[in-house]
Amino acid sequence: MKYLQSHLIVFLLISCNSLMAQKTYPTIGKIIAEDPAFEKLISKNARIEVLASGFDWSEGPVWIKNGNYLLFSDVPKNVIYKWEEKEGLSVFLKPSGYTGLGYYSDEPGSNGLTVDDQGRLIACEHGDRRISAMPLTKGGKITLADKFEGKRFNSPNDVVQHSNGSYYFTDPPYGLEKKHDDPSREITNFGVYRLSPDGKVSMEIKDLTRPNGLAFSPDGKTLYVAQSDPERAIYMTYPVTADGHIGVGKLLYDATPMLKSGRLKGLPDGLKIDRDGNLWASGPGGILVLNPQGKLLGRLEMSELTSNCAWGNDGSVLYLTVDSYVCRVQTNTKGAGW
């Protein structure tokens, strides 16, 4: 009898520990296929899990491979948060994008984040109006770029690095106190810029009204740019020339009719690319999944405004920043470069 009791206790302890290890997260949203090809990318029964909540506006997610954790910005709170499976949520960096005194604007913090080929965290900083680099383990920030032709940027929004070593970033007015009409603006255009390896800044695209998220095709020959203008909510493609400059663009997908229908809320914002060149792009209703030819394959329809996404874990898990939430969903594909 004692033998049975002792083994029962051990069994119960193992079962309890197993249950405690398997965290159960609440879910949100739904998976909607617009084309049969979508079911190859993500299961119709996939669950969009809510990992953390309570943020003012979550943005800029990036997975840190050398550490297995997620970083993301809360732009209004001027904080970069860290999330990891075992430890949960913690503050990684504060302040994240504004180091000045007093009130700056309603979006002073960092926005888009990426990790460069040196393993540094690259951040778009609204309040300090710059692109910065910071080691992930030890050491302070340095400024990579804060001016174009002697004039301060508006509020750098998203940034990616090309295999040629250049950084490309967008500069809409969202971090300024009075946005488009802010008196501190020094540059007329809301440009898409290139910071070349030799430190030179060039405005590569100057005719977009609200450039926002951007990403490269798997082969690096195409730059995708999202425009978060409610009057022209679009995704554009641009060829990348051999010398790293950006050629003439063309329209990939126009989400304006979807937005104008009034049923789906949200604008084109952050986007990522999978290994087959499909775009996973925030937009009206949540995440739109487009093939490289601009055909809508499916959607991750969310109940809240969705700002951005990032590949993580082994490259098959998509992390989402959704207004006050951070979420994830398992896919059947992997991010470009994984």
What's the average model confidence in pLDDT over 216-243? 98
Domain assignment present for residue 20? The answer is no
Q: Which amino acid makes up residue 139?
A: G
Domain assignment present for residue 115? The answer is yes
Looking at the 3D structure of the chain, how many domains does it have? 1
Question: pLDDT (tens digit, 9 = 90+) per residue, 81-132?
Answer: 999 999 999 999 999 999 999 999 999 999 999 999 999 999 999 999 999 9
Global pTM reads 0.93
Q: How confident is the model at residue 23 (pLDDT cuts 50, 70, 90)?
A: confident
Matching residue, tokens 């990036």: 62
Domain assignment present for residue 2? The answer is no
Question: pLDDT (tens digit, 9 = 90+) per residue, 124-168?
Answer: 999 999 999 999 999 999 999 999 999 999 999 999 999 999 999
Give the angle subtended at the CA of 233 by the CAs of 231 and 237, to the nearest 5°.
135
Report which of 337, 301, 302, 299 is spatially closest to residue 323, judged by C-alpha positions.
Answer: 302
Looking at the chain, the whole-number percentage of residues with pLDDT higher than 90 is: 91
The better pLDDT of the pair 21, 289 is held by 289
On whether 291 is known to bind a ligand per the annotation, the reply is no
On whether 154 is known to bind a ligand per the annotation, the reply is no
Give the structural domain span for 210: 26-330
**What value does the mean pLDDT of the chain take?**
94
* pLDDT at 19 exceeding the cut of 50: no
- What pLDDT, on the 0 to 100 scale, is given for residue 22? 59
Domain assignment present for residue 336? The answer is no
Q: Which amino acid makes up residue 328?
A: R
On whether 269 is known to bind a ligand per the annotation, the reply is yes
Q: Under a CB-based contact definition with an 8 Å cutoff, are residues 111 and 42 in contact?
A: no
Q: How confident is the model at residue 13 (pLDDT cuts 50, 70, 90)?
A: very low
* Radius of gyration (C-alpha) of the chain in whole angstroms: 21
Q: What gap in Å lies between CA 21 and CA 184, rounded to an integer?
A: 51
What's the average model confidence in pLDDT over 176-185? 98
Residue 111 maps to which CATH number? 2.120.10.30
Report which of 137, 104, 109, 139 is spatially closest to residue 123, judged by C-alpha positions.
Answer: 109
Residues acting as catalytic residues: 269
32 Rama class: left (phi>0) / alpha (psi -120 to 50) / beta: beta
- What pLDDT, on the 0 to 100 scale, is given for residue 5? 44
Rounded to 10 degrees, what is the CA torsion of 61, 64, 67, 69? 20
Matching residue, tokens 């009075």: 178
Q: Is the dihedral of CA 294, 299, 300, 306 positive or negative?
A: positive
Output the CA–CA distances (angstroms, integers) from residue 189 to 105, 200, 226, 231, 247, in the order listed. Answer: 20, 18, 16, 17, 18
